[in-house]
């Protein structure tokens, strides 16, 4: 999964919230990260703002609230030789802007009950706002958001503070075997590609980023043509037009960001072991997968649902957890990104079981590629995906994230309307064909982080017990 | 999510803000003692069904800790009619999402479905409420799964370990001392018999609340509930013993040494909750106090300690007024680089002293009240959350109706009341501090490619 710039803040709290509120969730969320949804009833309106930003809008009248999500092609894939720059720029936007300092900006949002957010992933950087639509409250929230987007101060003292907090976040990652595994995984999956570092960056780079770097990054990436504005809520088209124009008015027109370099396929299998004093070993297996808008998207998505994307009932969970009790969480997913994001199989298990687990995963994957899904599995997957369709867009929060994604990746506006039909059209042969062409079991990266981890590459045809 | 404890619960109509199209909660009692709550929300053609049992880790005792949670896992492992895993398969085939969670005060199971498919959920939940099989061979595997879960969530997470040790030290005889997932040794020694006894004792209609929210008609839901649940036999469920925490006689400190990179500080003060408060406004004043300290980026901990003094990298407050038993008012912090847990603790104490000596400003109170009003609307964006709120309040014994009071009660809190609860509860004799002292990690990357 992709990191976000608020991630570390949540780390301390997640411990507490997890225990106090939700406690132990039995199963893992069965939806692949980044997966998307649709609604036949969803009416997306789209236009260009006066300054040239792409706007997507869905009017929902039932609740007196609005969500605004501005997505820039300004994620860490744009870091160039300064990993962490995109995220630091994104974080610093609301640390003083327009007439206000950091404290005043926080107070202006929160005193009207608004919630503002900022995050940077690999592909995109997001600034978001949720507010009531009461005119007085909304106006103060929007005025503040406008300053944050268009007039950030980028004060050097603020950079120093965020630099130091980022270094703490990096230290925090170093005490987590799952974070370590993820970093090693991406670094080796994308050795020559901007996707190789997480948005949080690395220690050396974060220490070297200057305020001029931040200003330059902002000036070249936070432009109207590089932005998508998604709006959902209880306002009409006229009001949405005004909002989109206001928040993008003084962004320089700029240009859409240049295309990212292509991703090279792995040329051979590789296994990387990293020792860590944890009771479990964390396993990640994968290779570059597919991009947004990929012609094989639906075949790979439905196929992966059966392989390991749908929790209980999927083959990987069946083999690893249900039959053998080897792990609490096991899964596979494609993360579609601008360029092919990873295809990942993951789990974690006690040290002594790593070899057994690797051999079972290898066998499960090879079988699926060789034989494809059964007719029954395919029918079951289609029923699950299409029958649960209304759940995917049952809130303003879901809708605004989905239309932001559609706009950002230039997916067709009827993408949602046709989603179920596209799922239903997938055949077992197409899945088998797509997996055989796209997933290469002899060119897989395997990362194992934990104690006693000294896994060897699994040879083809070896047996799981 | 960022911890904003007072944001967790909200209203049908947020104080003064018109919210149209939302029905009241319908409450029904079946003849066998099972309660049904229905909240109509017609925004999207979906339905959420949750069944809440009054049992969780705070009902457990030493030796069987974690049994509620393991039983929750085993509820997916077959009944007289269904094979292991078939429950999940049937719900999946209906396009449903389903899951379960165990807390200190509840165990709950849920399904989210397209609205016309609610009947599948009822039929399956009614079946496993009374007909669970608990096959020993499935139990043997599932116990290993839960042990892996404990390793993942607790053993290999230094902050989780610290939090677990904190609770074990803070509570002497209150059952809030037990980790929800259970102690490792108890998990290893758990038996099918333990689970069978636990199931017999607590999984009865009279100990359950069924909550349905979404695009449904309350009378239709009642008719469905009558069809599937009303016929289930029920038994008296004995109240758990109170096990009220004995009086704390002085501050407690726990040191946790574990492989880690960052130090971590947890400070918790014993505090009443709505269920246990002798003075009714006090939990609401504690909610506001939590908001003053950490309810957003303009609150005092981020503003003073993170940005001005730069003594912490982050600090937050956790307080839930809807616990079943008296709880803690919790503050956690990660020191900033070059700072220590001692300097962080000292800085937090200074902030608490200010709250005990000076009244909070009108501006701060107004900000918190505006957030509470707005969040009461935002929460309506999630049907699942609305059901969750009703289920939790009902199950901990507060009563779902109390959700309606929340915004007004918070709006009535005065600066004097905030100072009073700070003076009364944020005191040494109720304090437990847990500190994570990082031990060296050995990191060696070895390349073993073929």
pLDDT tens per residue across span B57-82: 999 999 999 999 999 999 999 999 99
- Which pLDDT score, from 0 to 100, does residue B45 have? 96
What residue ranges define each of the domains in chain B, with the CATH number in brackets?
5-228 (3.30.830.10), 252-439 (3.30.830.10)
Query: What number of other Cβ atoms are within 10 A of residue B91's Cβ?
Result: 24
B206 vs B310: CA distance, rounded Å: 53
Task: Assign A193 to helix, strand or coil.
Answer: coil
Say yes or no for a CB contact (<8 Å) between A13 and B442.
no
Q: Which positions in chain B touch A115 (Cβ < 8 Å)? A: 374, 378
What DSSP state is assigned to residue A131? E
Measured between CA atoms, the residue of chain A closest to residue B374 is: A113
- Which pLDDT score, from 0 to 100, does residue A451 have? 81
Instruction: Give the percent of chain B with pLDDT over 70.
Output: 93
Q: For residue B234, name the pLDDT band (cuts at 50, 70, 90).
A: confident
Which of A113, A157, A279, A420 is the best residue to mutate to test the B interface, defined by the most B CB atoms within 10 Å of its own CB?
A113
Q: For residue A342, name the pLDDT band (cuts at 50, 70, 90).
A: very high
pLDDT tens per residue across span A91-148: 999 999 999 999 999 999 999 999 999 999 999 999 999 999 999 999 999 999 999 9
Report yes or no: A110 and B296 within 8 Å, Cβ to Cβ: yes
- Which pLDDT score, from 0 to 100, does residue B9 have? 28
A68 vs A243: CA distance, rounded Å: 9
Q: Tell me the HSE value of B60 on the side-chain side, using a 13 A CA sphere.
A: 32
Q: Which positions in chain A touch B44 (Cβ < 8 Å)? A: 390, 393-395
Mean per-residue pLDDT over chain A, rounded: 90
Say yes or no for a CB contact (<8 Å) between B157 and A15.
yes
Looking at the partner chain, which of A9, A279, A325 has a beta carbon nearest the beta carbon of B314?
Answer: A9
Q: For residue B235, name the pLDDT band (cuts at 50, 70, 90).
A: confident
Q: For residue A452, name the pLDDT band (cuts at 50, 70, 90).
A: low
Question: Which range (A21-30, B54-63, B422-431) has the least confidence?
Answer: A21-30
Enumerate the CATH 3.30.830.10 domain ranges in chain A, comma separated. 42-248, 270-402+409-450
- Which pLDDT score, from 0 to 100, does residue A169 have? 97
Q: Tell me the HSE value of B121 on the side-chain side, using a 13 A CA sphere.
A: 27
Task: Give the CATH number of domain A270-402+409-450; options: 3.30.830.10, 1.10.287.1040, 3.40.50.970, 3.30.465.10.
Answer: 3.30.830.10
A42-248 placed in CATH 3.30.830.10: yes
Residue A8 reports pLDDT greater than 60: no
Question: Which range (B31-40, B122-131, B436-445) has the least confidence?
Answer: B436-445
Q: For residue B12, name the pLDDT band (cuts at 50, 70, 90).
A: very low
Report yes or no: B131 and B77 within 8 Å, Cβ to Cβ: no
Identify whether B72 is a catalytic site residue: yes
Residue B241 reports pLDDT greater than 90: yes
Say yes or no for a CB contact (<8 Å) between B450 and A321.
no
Task: Assign A287 to helix, strand or coil.
Answer: strand
> Higher pLDDT residue, A463 or B240?
B240
- Which pLDDT score, from 0 to 100, does residue A285 have? 98
pLDDT tens per residue across span B341-371: 999 999 999 999 999 999 999 999 999 999 9
pLDDT tens per residue across span A314-337: 999 999 999 999 999 999 999 999
Looking at the partner chain, which of A16, A64, A279 has a beta carbon nearest the beta carbon of B377?
Answer: A64
Pick from B380, B332, B5, B338: nearest CA to B167: B332
Q: For residue A41, name the pLDDT band (cuts at 50, 70, 90).
A: low
* Rounded (10°) CA dihedral A195, A199, A200, A201: 40
Encoded tokens for B292? 């003053």
Q: For residue B5, name the pLDDT band (cuts at 50, 70, 90).
A: very low
- Prediction pTM value: 0.91
Pick from A409, A384, A265: nearest CA to A314: A384
Given the residues B60, B72, B138, B345, select the one marked as catalytic.
Answer: B72
Pick from A424, A293, A419, A426: nearest CA to A39: A419
Say yes or no for a CB contact (<8 Å) between B2 and A313.
no
B355 vs B366: CA distance, rounded Å: 17
Average pLDDT over residues B149-171: 97
Those residues whose C-beta lies under 8 Å from the C-beta of residue A439, and which sit 6 or more positions away, are A287, A343, A365, A369
Size of chain B, expressed as the number of residues it contains = 450
Residue A20 reports pLDDT greater than 80: no
Looking at the partner chain, which of B43, B152, B313 has a beta carbon nearest the beta carbon of A329?
Answer: B152
- Which pLDDT score, from 0 to 100, does residue B444 have? 40
**Pairing assessment for the beta strands A330-334 and A342-350 based on DSSP bridges:** antiparallel
Encoded tokens for A172? 């925090």
The interaxial angle of helices B415-425 and B282-294, nearest 10 deg, is 90
Question: Which range (A442-456, B190-204, B217-231, B251-265) has the least confidence?
Answer: A442-456
Element containing residue A286 per DSSP (H, E): strand A280-288
Residue A16 reports pLDDT greater than 90: no
Average pLDDT over residues A27-53: 62
């Amino acid at each position: 999964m992709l990191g976000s710039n608020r991630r570390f803040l949540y780390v301390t709290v997640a411990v507490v919230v997890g225990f106090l509120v939700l406690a132990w969730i039995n199963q893992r969320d069965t939806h692949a990260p980044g997966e998307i949804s649709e609604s036949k009833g969803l009416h997306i309106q789209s236009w260009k703002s006066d300054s040239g930003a792409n706007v997507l809008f869905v009017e929902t009248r039932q609740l007196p609230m609005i969500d605004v999500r501005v997505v820039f092609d300004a994620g860490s894939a744009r870091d160039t030789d300064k990993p962490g720059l995109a995220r630091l720029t994104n974080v610093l936007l609301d640390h003083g802007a327009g007439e206000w300092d950091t404290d005043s900006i926080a107070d202006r949002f929160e005193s009207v009950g608004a919630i503002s957010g900022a995050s940077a992933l690999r592909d995109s950087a997001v600034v978001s706002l949720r507010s009531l639509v009461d005119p007085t409250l909304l106006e103060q929230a929007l005025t503040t958001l406008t300053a944050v987007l268009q007039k950030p101060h980028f004060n050097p003292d603020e950079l120093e503070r965020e630099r130091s907090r980022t270094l703490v976040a990096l230290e925090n990652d170093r005490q987590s075997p799952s974070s370590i595994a993820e970093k090693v995984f991406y670094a080796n999956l994308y050795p020559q590609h901007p996707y190789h570092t997480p948005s949080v960056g690395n220690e050396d780079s974060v220490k070297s980023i200057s305020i001029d770097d931040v200003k330059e990054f902002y000036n070249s990436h936070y432009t109207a043509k590089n932005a998508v504005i998604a709006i959902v809520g209880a306002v009409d088209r006229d009001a949405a037009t005004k909002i989109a124009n206001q928040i993008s008015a003084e962004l320089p027109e700029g240009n859409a960001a240049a295309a990212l370099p292509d991703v090279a396929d792995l040329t051979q299998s590789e296994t990387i072991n990293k020792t860590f004093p944890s009771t479990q070993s964390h396993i990640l297996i994968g290779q570059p997968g597919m991009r947004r808008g990929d012609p094989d998207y639906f075949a790979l998505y439905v196929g992966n649902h059966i392989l390991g994307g749908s929790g209980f009932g999927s083959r990987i969970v069946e083999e690893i957890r249900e039959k053998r009790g080897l792990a609490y969480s096991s899964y596979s997913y494609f993360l579609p990104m601008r360029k092919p994001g990873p295809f990942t199989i993951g789990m974690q298990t006690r040290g002594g079981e790593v070899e057994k687990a690797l051999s079972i995963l290898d066998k499960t994957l090879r079988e699926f590629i060789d034989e494809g899904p059964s007719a029954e599995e395919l029918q079951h997957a289609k029923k699950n995906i299409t029958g649960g369709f209304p759940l995917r867009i049952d809130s303003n929060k879901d809708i605004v994230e989905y239309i932001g994604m559609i706009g950002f990746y230039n997916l067709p506006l009827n993408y949602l309307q046709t989603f179920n039909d596209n799922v239903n059209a997938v055949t077992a042969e197409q899945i088998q064909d797509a997996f055989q062409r796209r997933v290469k079991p002899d060119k897989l990266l395997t990362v194992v982080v934990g104690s006693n981890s000294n896994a060897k590459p699994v040879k083809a045809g070896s047996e799981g017990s | 999510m960022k911890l904003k404890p007072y944001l967790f619960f909200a209203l049908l109509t947020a104080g003064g803000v018109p919210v149209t199209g939302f029905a009241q909660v319908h409450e029904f009692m079946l003849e066998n003692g099972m309660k049904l709550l229905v909240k109509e929300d017609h925004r999207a053609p979906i339905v959420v069904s949750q069944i809440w049992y009054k049992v969780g880790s705070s009902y457990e005792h030493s030796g069987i800790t974690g049994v509620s949670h393991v039983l929750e896992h085993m509820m997916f492992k077959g009944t007289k009619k269904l094979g292991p895993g078939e429950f999940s398969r049937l719900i999946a085939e209906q396009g449903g999402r389903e899951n379960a969670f165990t807390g200190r005060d509840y165990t709950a199971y849920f399904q989210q479905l397209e609205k016309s498919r609610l009947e599948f959920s009822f039929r399956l939940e009614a079946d496993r409420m009374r007909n669970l099989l608990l096959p020993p061979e499935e139990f043997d595997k599932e116990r290993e799964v839960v042990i892996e879960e404990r390793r993942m969530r607790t053993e290999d997470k230094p902050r989780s370990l610290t939090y677990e040790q904190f609770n074990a030290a803070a509570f002497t005889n209150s059952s809030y001392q037990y980790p929800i997932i259970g102690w490792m040794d108890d998990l290893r020694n758990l038996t099918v018999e333990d689970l069978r006894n636990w199931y017999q004792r607590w999984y009865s209609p009279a100990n359950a609340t069924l909550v349905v929210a979404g695009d449904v008609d309350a009378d239709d839901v009642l008719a469905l509930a009558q069809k599937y649940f009303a016929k289930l036999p029920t038994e008296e469920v004995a109240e758990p013993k109170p096990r009220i925490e004995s009086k704390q006689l002085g501050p407690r400190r726990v040191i946790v040494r574990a492989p880690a990179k960052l130090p971590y500080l947890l400070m918790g003060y014993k505090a009443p909750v709505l269920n246990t408060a002798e003075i009714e406004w006090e939990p609401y004043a504690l909610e506001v106090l939590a908001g003053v300290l950490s309810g957003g980026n303009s609150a005092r901990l981020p503003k003073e300690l993170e940005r001005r003094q730069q003594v912490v990298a982050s600090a937050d407050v956790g307080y839930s007024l809807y616990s079943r038993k008296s709880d803690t008012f919790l503050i956690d912090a990660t020191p900033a680089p070059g700072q220590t847990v001692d300097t962080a603790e000292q800085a937090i104490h200074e902030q608490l002293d200010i709250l005990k000596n000076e009244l909070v400003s009108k501006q701060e109170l107004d900000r918190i009240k505006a957030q509470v009003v707005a969040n009461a609307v935002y929460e309506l964006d999630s049907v699942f959350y609305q059901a969750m709120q009703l289920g939790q309040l009902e199950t901990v014994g507060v009563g779902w109706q109390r959700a309606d009071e929340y915004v007004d009660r918070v709006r009535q809190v005065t600066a004097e009341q905030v100072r009073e609860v700070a003076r009364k509860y944020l005191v040494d004799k109720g304090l437990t501090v847990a500190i994570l002292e990082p031990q060296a990690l050995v990191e060696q990357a070895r390349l073993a490619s073929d």
